[in-house]
Amino acid sequence: MKPKLIKKIHFANYIAGLLFVTGIFHYTGGILWIGDIFFIITILYSSLLSTPREGLIIALFGFTCYSSIVLLEYFDLIPYVGFFKLTPYLYKDSQYVIITTLLTGLTFFLIFFTGKHFSQRLEQRSVELAKAKKVLEEWSDKLEKKVKLRTQELEKSKDKLSILYNISQVISSTLKLDNILKVILDFSVKISGANRGSVMLLDEKKGVFSIRVAHNLSERIIREITFTKDENTVGWVVKNKRPLYIKDLEKDKRFLKKEGIDYKLNQLLIIPIIIEGKVKGVINLDNNTSFTDDTINLLKSFSEQAAVAINNARLYQKIQDSYFEIVKALAQAIEAKDPYTHGHSERVMKYSLMIAQKFSLSKEEKDLLRYAAILHDVGKIGVRGIILNNPNGLTTEEYGEVKRHSIIGENIISPIELLQPIRPLIRHHHEWCNGKGYPDGLSKEDIPLGARILAVADAYDAMKSDRPYRKALTEETAIQELKRGNGTQFDPKIVEIFLEILKTKS
């Protein structure tokens, strides 16, 4: 329905209402009763809800209706039918009628103007409230957007912290330094979106930082680029012990490009790895775009976890090195008992690691083989020296005692937790591929690979060394013996690899 039509309907309702009120006014006593209150209510209501022009018309019409009833009753044009007569024939008193009619008319118009004033105030207040509502809605929208943005940021922070926790769990679950450094770099590159990155560690002896792991860098750069503790941006980080973010490398005096860096650096971020209050490493990241403050803070927190993991790995390595030194000392004590085998364990270790290199064994497997090579004859400490140094050959009983040295060796190292993995290598390094070795008669693949490698290295060095009962064999003779035992005593693949090594060496 059209607004104009609605207004006309409302106006007609007001007029009809006044006519109805006029009737009530006449039949309830007219001027002698309080029926004029109905006029006042109607005029007030219309003045509040209609336009000023409409309200004024309604007030005039209401006064016209009121005065018409009064005059018609006064001149007896209509009978007075009121139920209440306060004073008989008072409605015929001209003075009373005139004064009452004028006062009532004045009241009507005062009511109209008062109502219109309040109506205007209400409209003004409504406008103000509408503006306030609009401002509140705008503020609410902004607040909602801020809350949404903040929620998204919190979700991102939650995700990053979750990643940080998971990565921290990973780096804390291993004591292998190379693995830890790789995880540190992979996480740093992923979280920052860097184009290139590296982790540098301080070499305490040389006093320089060198690259240990890298992302998207050439082998030449990894091999050649180093920094001293006082040099370049790394030196600044070492001195200040806090992250360094350079947005324009061309203009920053702290950055001096190293010779040999054959790519353009744009923005550089360096995160220190602080161990026991000193910078022992740095995470280098460079990018074409900016690094955010959140990313920098996250990497800073991560570097603290990384520092703990790196320190634990280094402490573990020191313990490993200490054990190895103890192992070497024990091996030397054994060789002191048997002067004919002086240096034998060291040489067996060297040959074994040369063979292991061809098998692409992991660093951990090579370390275990190194320990096993040094300790492979540790059980001879339980064999009588008179038997070990017998120049006339051994009886069956004496040879049986010698054969027990592999079992004795395993028993000696069994209490040492770190040496548990090499127990099978020490026990089985005298097994033969055809199953005729000792102590358990294992054959082929049932013999651990490390033990098969030790068997070849041990036999070759024994043949090349003086013994109480014979002189050292020549190189050619030792090689022929290896070939003769190929497939029976020794693993054919290992013999083939070792002979190739000897050929290359010669």
Superfamily of domain 338-505: Hypothetical protein af1432 (1.10.3210.10)
Angle of helix 449-463 versus helix 475-484 axis, rounded to 10: 140
Please choose, from the candidates 172, 242, 237, 159, the residue with its C-alpha nearest in 3D space to the C-alpha of residue 202. 237
State residue 259's pLDDT score: 47
When pLDDT is cut at 50, 70 and 90, the band that residue 446 belongs to is: very high
Q: Give residue 360's pLDDT.
A: 82
Q: Is 424 helix (H, G, I), strand (E, B) or coil?
A: helix
In this predicted model, what pLDDT tens digit does every residue of 204-250 receive, in sequence order?
Answer: 889 999 999 999 988 888 888 888 888 888 889 999 999 999 887 77
Please state which of the ranges 57-66, 170-179, 225-234, 404-413 shows the lowest mean pLDDT: 57-66
Q: What is the pLDDT of residues 243-261, one digit of tens each?
A: 999 887 777 666 655 545 6
Question: If you average pLDDT over each of 3-7, 82-86, 262-266, 408-412, which comes out highest?
Answer: 408-412
**Side by side, which strands form the sheet with 208-215?**
226-228, 208-215, 196-203, 278-287, 267-275, 244-246
Q: What is the mean pLDDT of the chain?
A: 82
Q: Could you tell me if residue 241 is left (phi over 0), alpha (psi between -120 and 50 degrees) or otherwise beta? A: left
Q: Is a pLDDT exceeding 60 seen at residue 165?
A: yes
Instruction: Please write down the long-range contacts of 154-160, taking CB distance under 8 Å and 24 or more positions apart.
Output: 156/294, 157/294, 160/191, 160/294, 160/298
* Secondary structure (DSSP) of 317-349: HHHHHHHHHHHHHHHHHHHHHSGGGTTHHHHHH
- Domain 174-316 in CATH: superfamily? GAF domain (3.30.450.40)
Regarding predicted confidence, which is higher, 111 or 377?
A: 377
Encode pLDDT of 315-363 as tens digits: 888 887 787 677 678 777 776 766 666 788 889 999 999 999 998 888 8
Average pLDDT over residues 51-62: 71
pLDDT of residue 419: 86
